[in-house]
Structure 1
């Protein structure tokens, strides 16, 4: 599941380092070319909201295999795209159907014993993070040597292989909450209203991913402004540095299994806050940025694992829907953080970006310390 999650989530990011080559081939630039990565992310949000809940009402393995096939077709269309309009439409379809990881995570939580759920979720999440961080590196290498279209064809082939492997390795799982689709979607509102622990951890996820996104949305601009005028390739290499954060995911999960969830949240968010202090004080050097990136990814990843381990323990019959609510909030926070980071960059430069990240981290730290006390005693102790 960890490998499948890494290979699948990478589909969302292959296009980013290839945009220059795509623009030259299809005769596009500027805001029109920016629709390719934008519509990919919009499609992902749409898929999370409208497709991921089906994991509760349908047999999960069948849904996952169907989505692997659909995203493979979308990737082939992207590779064959004769115009930017076709590529944008294919990119949206890639985003919608690349929600396989968001079905694998609750599936893994369902299969794991309660005492091992955090460790298992952490292992699958480590795969996702590695896929996100290394996808741009892989796309840049393939695009440089074989052309940008080849990257999409390679990705499609990986989806076929992934689907075949999952067909023979994933167990068949009957629906945990068979209900009509309209009722399934209405139940999202009910869950949001009746699960305070979900609301707290969704808030923590959104704030910390917002801080994370404020940094990554502005890093390339900041590196270009330094005396070395570093290019996008250098910015991409910092993604490799961030893989260190993925290594700790299963370890964090083990502590979450032992009931240390709230303490992990608080410590992880404190590390995230410290990363922006490091980036502000020593961000003028590449080594200072590298140290900040390690702390940033470590804090964000540890907080994410603790959040998801707790959320998946709430309602065994609604894990896919709980994941939908959590991840939609998570990505809304990320979008808000990216916007705030760019705005701060234009007005106050790098100190402004660090201030945005620190403010969102501090707000999350206050939320976990104050919010847990307001939960019912049993819930607070588990959190």
Structure 2
């Protein structure tokens, strides 16, 4: 069987009926913000965790890597199910498991238990990557860029403000464990509201086995050059992003700055301008196309790292660098997802699975590389590592510009999950 079509419904299958559920963008954005926060709120706490559990900073850095690895596993193993199973049941189970894992982390007696609990909760907190294709499908033609951008804004706000909240909660309570309890309560609140507001299904009932879903993912990557380009760029950008945020708490805590977890968390509030500005990435992508917006995102991310590296002990310089990095990464992700959702509704969750798997795989590598580089050589070395990831992304952009991603032909293969590119004359 051709792996490109193994995970897709038969071409003769009837199209999915239109869902009677209207897209509730604010609810999806808030739910995405709360759940994605579970990945990022521990980052400002790493120095406090190292002190509280009596481990080295390098060992505490493994928690950030575990979060990215777990998220990548969840994207691979769980997000594809959204194409064929009942969404309400899937989201309820995932939210319940995430809440339980957060409670285990709050009570962790040692770093091993905390790392394993982080791995578990990040595996099940993949709801944002289910809500994004759901929003795009429900929005319909002509609104997908805008809706993806607004849901993406929620994710950006969740990832940035979660650091502020967790740092403030830790400073106020004197314990990093309180932040995990607050996160568990917020996730439980989403569980009580969100599932019943979703459509019963994203598409028709699946005829493919779970193994078939996973087996078809490489075929999607092989079939769609747009997906390959977006996956590479997403991995590079998020690797650079993760290097910065994984080591920022250590850098701020070290002399001559000497700040606590609250200062690291405050960067979430101070990067709000960048988070809000990233909402414009959707309309800009619709107007100018994904290639230009993703290239601009890489440029802004690289500029942000340069500013943070040139002014390592200036709070203003670090804030400016963080803002540039956030807006660059967020804008790039909106552009990349707009590119892949054009592939078709039948495989919306699965192409997002491939894209986000690459993105957070890059994030895991970035977190691990950043922790080791900082522990061995300091702040400048970590930022040079982040800049290397951005440079690789720049090479992908240049190569893509020389050979533009072909447009997709909206024929019967769309329902089969395979869009055959329109090949210009003379190109094979």
TM-score by length of 1: 0.87
CA contact (8 A) 1:59 1:175 kept: no
Structure 1 residues 357 and 33, CA gap change in structure 2 (3 angstroms):
closer
Q: CA deviation at 1:322?
A: 1.0
Structure 1 residues 255 and 351, CA gap change in structure 2 (3 angstroms):
same
Look up the match of 2:291: 262
Q: Which has the higher helix share?
A: 1
Tell me the alpha carbon deviations over residues 264-291 of structure 1, each in whole angstroms, 9 at most, x when there is no partner: 1122212222223323334442212221
Query: Secondary structure of 1:206's partner?
Result: helix
Query: Secondary structure of 1:219's partner?
Result: helix
Structure 1 residues 75 and 369, CA gap change in structure 2 (3 angstroms):
same
CA contact (8 A) 2:64 2:246 kept: no
Of the three residues 65, 79, 99, the one matched with 1:52 is: 79
Tell me the alpha carbon deviations over residues 190-224 of structure 1, each in whole angstroms, 9 at most, x when there is no partner: 11111111000111111111222232233344445
Look up the match of 1:68: 95
CA contact (8 A) 2:226 2:405 kept: no
1:198 aligns with 2:230: no
Of the three residues 165, 168, 174, the one matched with 2:193 is: 165
1:290 aligns with 2:319: yes
Q: CA deviation at 1:98?
A: 0.7
Query: Secondary structure of 1:115's partner?
Result: coil
1:358 aligns with 2:396: no
Structure 1 unaligned spans of 5+: none
Look up the match of 1:317: 346
Look up the match of 2:398: 369
Of the three residues 1, 4, 9, the one matched with 2:36 is: 9
RMSD, aligned α-carbons: 2.9
Look up the match of 1:124: 151
Tell me the alpha carbon deviations over residues 213-258 of structure 1, each in whole angstroms, 9 at most, x when there is no partner: 2322333444455534444433332232222222123311012123
Q: CA deviation at 1:152?
A: 3.3
Moved more, 246-255 or 231-240: 231-240
Look up the match of 2:119: 92
Look up the match of 1:29: 55
How far apart, in 2, do the equivalents of 1:298 and 1:109 lie? 21
Of the three residues 227, 230, 236, the one matched with 2:256 is: 227
Q: CA deviation at 1:336?
A: 2.7
Look up the match of 2:180: 152
CA contact (8 A) 1:6 1:127 kept: yes
Structure 1 residues 249 and 233, CA gap change in structure 2 (3 angstroms):
same
Moved more, 105-114 or 170-179: 170-179
Structure 1 residues 281 and 190, CA gap change in structure 2 (3 angstroms):
same
Tell me the alpha carbon deviations over residues 330-370 of structure 1, each in whole angstroms, 9 at most, x when there is no partner: 12222333344455546765443443333332332231232
Of the three residues 218, 225, 240, the one matched with 2:247 is: 218
- Equivalent pairs, count: 380
Structure 2 unaligned spans of 5+: 1-27, 409-420, 423-428
Q: CA deviation at 1:296?
A: 1.2
